Amino acid sequence: MYPNVNLQPGQRGPEVEKLQNFLMSQGLLTKEQIKTGPGIYGPQTKQAVTYWQEINGVDNTSGPGYWGPQSIGVASGDVSGPTSATGGPFDYLRDKNHPFYSPSKPITPATPATPAPPAPPTPVQPTQYAGGLPPDDPSNQYNTQTGQMNPLFGSGSGNIPVDGGQPYSDEEYEEALNNNPIIAESVAKGNTAADLAYAAETGDYSGLVNQFGQPFSLEDQQKALADATEDNRLYYEALQSKETADAEGALAQQKADYQDYLLTSGQQFEADKAQSDQTAKDRGVLFSGGRVQKERNLERAYRQDEASTLASTARGIGDTARDFQYKYGNEEANKLRSNYNLGGNTFNASTARGGVGSSGLSSIYNPSQYNYQGTRKVERKTAANKRAAGYLWNKGNKLLASGYSNKY
Q: Quick: pLDDT tens for 294-347.
A: 888 989 999 999 999 999 999 999 999 999 999 999 999 999 998 999 999 898
> What CA–CA distance (Å, rounded) separates 163 from 146?
20
Asked whether the predicted pLDDT for residue 382 surpasses 60, the reply is yes
Element (H, E) at 363: strand 362-363
Crossing angle of helices 43-55 and 14-25, rounded to 10°:
50
- Main-chain phi, psi angles of 321, to 5 degrees: -65, -40
In the predicted model, what is the mean pLDDT of residues 143-166? 51
The secondary structure of 52-67, three-state, reads HHHHCCCCCCCCCCCE
For residues 100 and 150, the model is more confident at: 150
Q: Up-side HSE of residue 5: CA atoms within 13 Å toward CB?
A: 10
Looking at 100-114, 242-256, 287-301, which range is the least confident one? 100-114
Asked whether the predicted pLDDT for residue 201 surpasses 70, the reply is no
In the predicted model, what is the mean pLDDT of residues 28-55? 88
Nearest C-alpha neighbor of 129 from the set 118, 141, 119, 137:
141
For residues 369 and 140, the model is more confident at: 369
Q: According to the per-residue pLDDT averaged within each range, which of 4-8, 217-221, 261-265 is highest? A: 261-265
For residues 43 and 180, the model is more confident at: 43
- Give the pLDDT band of residue 118 (cuts 50, 70, 90): low
CA dihedral of residues 127, 133, 134, 137 (deg, nearest 10): -20
Nearest C-alpha neighbor of 55 from the set 129, 105, 159:
129
Q: What value does the mean pLDDT of the chain take? A: 76
Distances (CA, A) of 55 to 98, 118, 125, 163: 14, 20, 11, 18
> What CA–CA distance (Å, rounded) separates 218 from 211?
9
> What CA–CA distance (Å, rounded) separates 48 from 144?
10
Specify the pLDDT at position 170: 61
Signed CA dihedral, 85, 91, 97, 101: sign only: negative
- Give the pLDDT band of residue 161 (cuts 50, 70, 90): very low
Specify the pLDDT at position 214: 58
In the predicted model, what is the mean pLDDT of residues 181-192? 67
Find the angle CA(288)-CA(292)-CA(295) to the nearest 5 degrees. 140
CB 190 within 8 A of CB 211: yes
Q: What is the pLDDT of residues 42-69, one digit of tens each?
A: 888 988 999 888 888 888 776 788 888 8
Specify the pLDDT at position 233: 93
